[in-house]
Amino acid sequence: MHAALVYLQITNLLMVILDIYTWIILAYCLITMAISFGVVNPQSNRFIQSLAEILARLVEPVLQPIRNILPPTGMMDFSPLILLLAIQYGIPFILKSIFRAFFLSQG
């Protein structure tokens, strides 16, 4: 039973990290929308420029493979939505399935 507790702690830590990454994705989406709609100008505001670059470096490597799979949709980019859905529903489902397979089957 000790291994199950270790697995649950690791799973909880992973979920906290994914929750933080979810907020990073949402911040990236908001800042890119604000820049594209002209609400903020990154050329005149160095903080916004730096923030956008940091967020892009954190999010773009994960979004690019999703964009390569999705068909082109014109101006709409659905890759952040797909990534958020995978983080919120796909990864917890996989982790629960692993837990059930390894620990609950041992009886």
- Name every residue whose Cβ is closer than 8 Å to that of residue 2 and which is 6 or more positions away in sequence: none
Q: What is the pLDDT of residue 106?
A: 66
- Contact at 8 Å (CB) between 38 and 25? no
Q: What is the pLDDT of residue 107?
A: 53
Q: What is the pLDDT of residue 69?
A: 94
**The whole model's pTM is what?**
0.86
pLDDT in tens, 24-49: 999 999 999 999 999 999 899 999 99
First to last CA, the chain: 10
pLDDT in tens, 44-99: 999 999 999 999 999 999 999 999 999 988 888 899 999 999 999 999 899 888 88
